Amino acid sequence: MAGTLRTLGKRARRQVVADLRADPYLPYVLVLAALLAGFWFWHRLPNFATRDEQARIFDPLVALGTYLADPSVESFREGVAWGRVPFGATFYLNAVALVPVVLAAVVLGQLDAFLAFDTPPRHLGYFYIWQETPAWMWTVSLSIVRLVNVAFAVGCVYLTYRLGVQLRDRATGRLAALLLTFTFGFLTVAHEGGEDVPALFFTLLSLALLVSYVRTGEAAPFLLASAFGGVAIAFKLTAAPMVAVVAAAYLLRVHGAGPEWRSAFVRPWLLVGGAVAGLAAIVLGFPTLLVGEADVVLHRIAGGSASRTEWSTGPDAPVWWWFLRQYLNAFGLPLFVGAVGGVVATFARLDDRGRDLHATALLLVALAANVLLYVPWHDFRVHHLLPTFPLLVLLLATALVDLRGRSPGAARVLLAILLLSGGAYATAGVLSYADSPRDDAVAWF
């Protein structure tokens, strides 16, 4: 297993190096993404950015505090199972971020500070624990969590580039990566610790492997895509549409096999292998499940998902209103109109795709599956729609590259409008992180 992971790591490294050498503009796009996603990443520290960021960092802290209070397997199991709801693989990510903090606490003789997290009662938003814990612990741990999130965000931009290259060429990948970098909704989610951006990273990684499988029919990309899709689901259950995308890739490969479609279809070992790989990734990704609390996980999957149709966290409004509101918030008006135009243009020219048909169809399936997931919901937020952002900019970039071949002048005008308006919207939004009226008020008091 370790050898396989090392081999995969080497291949991924070689691919990244090859892309950086082949495309002189790619490093600048990635640096820009890092600057925008990481600008003022320490905003509000040592406070939490959101309640979700607090909940995610509390999970491993409670496991640690409960174990320190009573060093035993049972207490550790109870600590892991304590979480407000089981957040899956985010537990591991935050636990790794806490390692330097724990080591520093040992050196400074402040390890007892973690005893406050011994099965804390749920009242007053745990404010008393936040106040009693040394401020440096919050600052360091949350800074590491957010910087890891920024690294995943840059990885998402690169994977969007790679998908664009697979879909068409380097110009398409470059443009798609730049458009994602200028998507303010993407940058907003990248500015706080959570599971959304890591889940998106593994979703895009799975998609890139599925495109490779559809074109080559090789088993390895399919199995890896199934595993990484499982990792995405372990980070965030709303990545579940990846199951449909994996199935669609299998069927698209059958369609692309031509006369050999029967042999491409009848590959039960591949389907079983993919299912096992995905399921194993999901199971291993939920520490709550590993400590024997399967009922908690099942309740979140079944009960939590069903309740979203009536769970009201916003005004009563038609679902189209929620989609329009959140997409306009995430993209801004010009880029949103461009994204819609990209989808329409893709459908209009689907018959002309030739070799790119199956890869384009796979992106459309992924987009439709993610959108349909939220249609029954009462309401949702920008971060719920995050998986669709790279898909929309990929389709838009492809449409713009197509237009450039037919009408270079029109393509240049549209591209200038989208990049200038999107860049201004994203930059203005990101700069606002340096302005914290609430913290200024606290300082005044």
159-192 confidence digits (pLDDT tens): 999 999 999 899 999 999 999 999 999 999 999 9
CA dist., res. 238 & res. 301, Å (int): 10
What are the boundaries of each domain within the chain? Answer: 51-145
- The 10s digit of each residue's pLDDT in 280-301 is 999 999 888 888 777 777 776 6
Q: What's the sign of the alpha-carbon dihedral 65, 69, 73, 78?
A: negative
Query: Which of 127-141, 295-309, 351-365 ranks highest by mean pLDDT?
Result: 127-141
Q: What is the mean pLDDT of residues 7-23?
A: 89
The answer to whether the beta carbons of residues 399 and 169 sit under 8 Å apart is no
Find out whether the peptide bond into 198 is cis, omega within 30 degrees of 0: no
Q: Which of 61-70, 72-81, 288-297, 387-396 is predicted with the least confidence, judged by mean pLDDT? A: 288-297
Give the pLDDT confidence score for residue 305 in this predicted structure.
Answer: 60
Which is nearest to 229 in space by CA: 254, 248, 216, 210? 210
CA dist., res. 140 & res. 145, Å (int): 9
34 falls in which pLDDT band (50, 70, 90)?
A: very high
Of the CA atoms within 13 Å of residue 412, those in its CB half-sphere come to 3
Residues of the chain above pLDDT 70, percent: 92
Residues of the chain above pLDDT 90, percent: 68
The DSSP annotation for 285-321 comes to H-HHHHTT-HHHHHHIIIIIHHHTTT--SS----HHH
Q: Which residues make Cβ contacts (< 8 Å) with residue 276, sequence separation at least 6?
A: none
Of the CA atoms within 13 Å of residue 314, those in its CB half-sphere come to 15
pLDDT at 107 > cutoff 80: yes
Query: Which of 40-44, 160-164, 347-351, 433-437 ranks highest by mean pLDDT?
Result: 160-164
The total of other beta-carbon atoms located within 10 Å of residue 302's CB is 10
- The 10s digit of each residue's pLDDT in 250-274 is 999 888 776 676 766 778 899 999 9
CA dist., res. 229 & res. 239, Å (int): 8
Q: What is the mean pLDDT of residues 206-224?
A: 94
CA dist., res. 252 & res. 358, Å (int): 6
